[in-house]
A = this chain, B = another copy of it.
Amino acid sequence: MNRKYNFAVILSGCGVYDGAEIHEAVLTLLAIDKAGSNYQCYAPDIKQHHVLNHYTGKEIMESRIVLEESARIARGKIKPLNEFNESLHDGIIFPGGFGVAKNLSSFAFEGANCEINKEVEQAVLKMVKAQKPIGALCIAPAVISKILKGAEVTIGKDEDTIKAIQGMGGIHQERGHGEICIDRKYKLVTTPCYMLDATISQIEEGATNVVQAMLSLMK
């Protein structure tokens, strides 16, 4: 009988411009479920960097909490990231969205000089130590390349982001829609998703390919 693998999915809010990219997050959960595996969502219990009106693009003078907004995507079934325990999971995945670059790190503002949320950094380092695979979509690979020195990742083709990755000591590999990049030393699987001008079907393809490659690395 096949065992069920357990994925941790790390969210960064709810909405592409100030939180987790919703399509990438949902289609990651779908890919895990369709592969016959389980997922548990986590998010840090911190304030969002800011709140953007996604209709106008303008800032709203409000304060929202990353854990509470991420809970919308998780239908309430989410844990604070400080409860993350690597022994309970076979893999960890970061969907994209500006939340990864604004809430989980300061990458959106400081590029290669960014700081990383300590709970995020610890979760990634614990998985590497346990030799368990890490997945990252969209902009998330750039943030992971700050944590894992010399990591080989893809974020697609965006030149400024590629320079920032190289500035953090990362190695960038160009990839197209749905394609993945695998760094075998870190067991790190990445894909561009909406870093390219993608359709929602292409996001599903990317998320599915990341999950499948992670499952191969688990076996």
Contacts and interface: CB of A to CB of B under 8 A. Distances in A.
Interface of A: 14-17, 19, 21-23, 26-27, 29-30, 33-34, 53-57, 60, 62, 65, 67-69, 71-76, 78, 194, 199-201, 204
Contacts of A73: 22
A75 B62 contact: no
A169 B60 CA distance: 43
B30 A204 contact: yes
Contacts of A55: 65, 67-68, 71, 76, 78
A53 B78 CA distance: 12
Nearest to A69: B54
Complex copy number for this chain: 2
A33 B200 contact: yes
A54 B75 contact: yes
12 contacts: A14-B14, A14-B22, A15-B72, A16-B76, A19-B72, A23-B29, A23-B75, A27-B30, A54-B76, A55-B68, A55-B71, A62-B62
A199 B14 contact: no
Contacts of A200: 26, 29-30, 33
Contacts of A53: 68, 71
